[in-house]
Structure 1
Amino acid sequence: MKKIYLFAFVSLFMVNCSSDSTDGGTPEEQMYFPPSDGSNTWETKSISAMGWNQNAVQPLLDFLEEKNTKSFIILVNGRIVMENYFNGHTATSPWYWASAGKTLTTTVTGIAQDEGLLNINNKVSDYLGIGWTSAPLAKENLITCKNLLSMNSGLNDALGDDVSPANLQYVADAGTRWAYHNVYVKLQDVVAQSSGQTWANYFNTKLRDRIGMTGGAWINLDGLSVYWSTTRSMARFGLLSLNKGKWNGTTIVNENYFTQATTTSQSINQAYGYMWWLNGKSSFHLPQTQLEFNGTLIPNAPNDMYAALGKNDQKIYVIPSKKMVIIRMGEVANPDNPTFAFSGFDNELWSKINALYQ
């Protein structure tokens, strides 16, 4: 009888070990977080140690360089597996996040809610006062902070980047129409107003400095606040996002809120959370169109991936099933077909990434 129990225990142990394995077939490692003290220390793991296909590395690098990439990082379990710079860019060079930085606003809004400074279900005018749009008052009062997070404010998205009241015009009731719109930046004003601090100061103390995103800054471009940082700082935010708002055991933003942010946020665009793009859904909408497209957003990418996508192909891919974060910064990959967020480059890039481990 003892032999039977021993055999059952050993079998169960072997099953558990095999289920906790990475793509390289080795027992799962503990998640790693680089120090947040401003040092440049970051653990690495080689392609060979991962058990990946070394022959697929150079074709990926050639493709990235050809497509105007400036930097590229792959993290697995928080460790750097690939880190490459192109076209004169370096590890210390800052670059803009474009709309990939929308997810920074999402995260800081959640932090402010955790601190009791705001509630995303409250109307925006509770914080900014009436008249922050030119919509009729009854329609303006329908717009909640959650509507700004979900891109369904009902305001006109065809009037350019200006978010002054005169340019924020009513098209439909909040919640009834999805449209990619820069009105989301009003959440930064909500955070500033509710915290009694500038947006940049609150962001720096509550997010940037806590996870070691040193040196980054918000820069005003054509009336919009755009975040610039090194590639490793972007990777740090990706790692925080992989861990659902926790950094080395410390909660930066509530996990329940982060789960909401990476889940379909409204009934119109299945592939959109709180400014995170969601793969693996049965349909999606794209910026500047009211059309619905059938199928998943990026077919070559894992279905559980969520992504921060910015103009000219700034990318943060987060893949929980692979404990992976991928960063791409650079110029537009296909200059003849520039886009605001998602582009055909995503699917092309993922075909190259898949070759590493399939």
Structure 2
Amino acid sequence: MKPTYFYLLILGLVFSFSCSTEDDTTPNDPEPETIYFPPINSDTWETKSISDLNWNEDQLQPLLDFLEEKNTKSFMILHDGKIVEEHYFNGHTNSTSWYWASAGKTLTTAVTGIAEDNDLLDIENKVSDYLGTGWTSAPLEKENLITSKNLLSMTSGLDDTLGDDVSSGNLQYVADAGSRWAYHNVYVKLQDIVAEASNSTWNDYFNTNLRNKIGMSGSWIDLAGLSVYFSDTRSMARFGLLTYANGKWEDDQIVSENYIAAATHTSQNVNLAYGYMWWLNGKPSYHLPQSQLEFPGALIPDAPNDMFAALGKNDQKIYVVPSKKLVIIRMGQAADDHNFALSNFDNELWIKINALIN
């Protein structure tokens, strides 16, 4: 073979490989045909044993002891949709309702995506297209910079130090939308946008287009102005499974794959560890709620790099790990002190999980 042809062959192979490499918004990569989905109108849920997976069975009890010590109410591990471990503590049962706290933000993410898939809204459009002007107290030209995507990515530029009240007088300008990341309850305006765009109520649209389609139970409850979701643990697991399956439930594409991919990858260039209200592991840096500081390193160092998570106050957790085919749920009281989304408990828990699954 002549040298020129050899070099061309090498260049062709390199180009072919680079074109097939995933970018930062490629859908996650579980094998859809292998995923088990529990029936919608049944308590039946297939199981898989620890021994089937060749996990370290002797590490299960230390994990459960740790969870109980850390004020856990319920804990589930799914592998490709099947239950490997389901455990309840302190009188909690598989029918007991508990709050999702900020882990429920991802429900709003999903329903916003459904509404966009249904051509009811466009997340690139400004919020005032749906809610009218004056929904904040920011100058009009600054208010009109804020899109639904800014609400999804926590980059509204509104003041996050004024509490949870999202009335217009409490939504004050700090920076241009997109230039500043700040964890803020203003995301709930997305629920108003969906209601307005669908000519429905948030609850009705949510129930019809998400909850009922995957067999969830539960409801939204207003707590001091906060819209908080309450459900049993299996309902939280169903939602985690839907997201693991790239928005699909059996043959029904409930949320588009492209939207789920965008939601579970970096959404802006300020907090690399944040998508559309999903927290992302394995990034070179991250920000935390109520802080403008950037911290180096991964969000949860001992968790898999491809993990993304819904994290709620007092350690409500949905962990999704495509590479290991896992969805993991934890509900309960705060493991240690009261906290916001992320806590030291996350990494401590993952050390215990790793001892089991590796």
Establish whether TM, by shorter chain, passes 0.5.
yes
Q: How does 1:1-358 map to 2 (within 5 A)?
A: 30-37=34-41, 39-214=42-217, 216-335=218-337, 338-358=338-358
Aligned letter for 1:73? Answer: M
Amino acid at match of 1:235: A
Q: Kindly state the Cα deviation for residue 304 of structure 1 after the two structures are TM-superposed.
A: 0.2
Cα RMSD over matched residues? 1.2
Q: Structure 1 residue 249: deviation in Å?
A: 2.0
2:182–2:292 Cα contact (<8 Å) kept: yes
State how far apart, in whole Å, the 2-side matches of 1:261 and 1:45 are. 29
| Partner deviation per Cα, 1:136-167 (whole Å, 9 max, x = no partner) | 11100000000000000000000001000010
1:357 offset after TM fit, Å? 2.1
* Maintained 8 Å contact 1:71/1:231: yes
Query: SS of the counterpart of 2:327?
Result: strand
Q: Determine if contact 2:281/2:308 at 8 Å carries over to the other structure.
A: yes
Amino acid at match of 1:254: S
For residue 163 of structure 1, what is the amino acid of its counterpart?
Answer: V
SS in structure 1 opposite 2:51? helix
| 8 Å CA contact 2:76, 2:86 repeated in 1 | yes
CA distance in 2, matches of 1:192, 1:168: 20
CA distance in 1, matches of 2:331, 2:168: 33
Asked whether the equivalents of residues 35 and 245 of structure 2 are also in contact (C-alpha less than 8 Å), the reply is: no
Question: Using the alignment, how far apart are the partners of 1:166 and 1:64 within structure 2?
Answer: 42
Query: Is there any run of 5+ residues in structure 1 with no aligned partner, and where?
Result: 1-27
Other structure's SS at 1:315 match: strand
Per-residue displacement from partner, 1:244-302 (whole Å, max 9, x unpaired)?
Answer: 10011210011001100011000000000000000000000000000000000000100
Q: Which amino acid aligns with 2:236?
A: M
Write the deviation string for residues 155-200 of structure 1: whole angstroms up to 9, x where unpaired.
0000001000010000000011000000000000000000011100
Residue 26 of structure 2 corresponds to: none
Q: Is the 8 A contact 1:29 1:77 kept in 2?
A: no
* Ranges in structure 2 where 5+ consecutive residues have no aligned partner: 1-31
User: Identity of counterpart residues, as a percentage?
Assistant: 72
1:30 to partner: Cα distance: 2.1
Shift in Å at residue 29 of structure 1?
A: 8.5
TM-score with structure 1 setting the length:
0.90
Deviation at 1:134, TM superposition (A): 0.5
C-alpha distance in 1, partners of 2:35/2:149? 32
Deviations 1:9-48 (A, max 9, x none): xxxxxxxxxxxxxxxxxxx9921000012x1000001111
Displacement over 6 Å in runs of 4+: none
Aligned AA (2:116): Q
| Aligned counterparts of 2:255 and 2:243: Cα–Cα separation in 1 | 10
Secondary structure at the residue paired with 1:263?
coil
Relative to the length of structure 2, the TM-score reads 0.90
Distance 1:296 1:269 in 2: 12
CA distance in 1, matches of 2:188, 2:232: 22
Letter in 2 for 1:179: A
The Cα of 1:120 is off from its aligned counterpart by: 0.1
Task: Name the counterpart of 1:18.
Answer: none
| Cα 1:29–1:48 shift into 2, 3 Å | farther
Tell me if the contact between 1:124 and 1:143 (Cα under 8 Å) persists in the aligned partners.
yes
Alpha-carbon distance, 1:50 to partner: 1.5
Structure 2 distance, partners of 1:238, 1:141, is 34
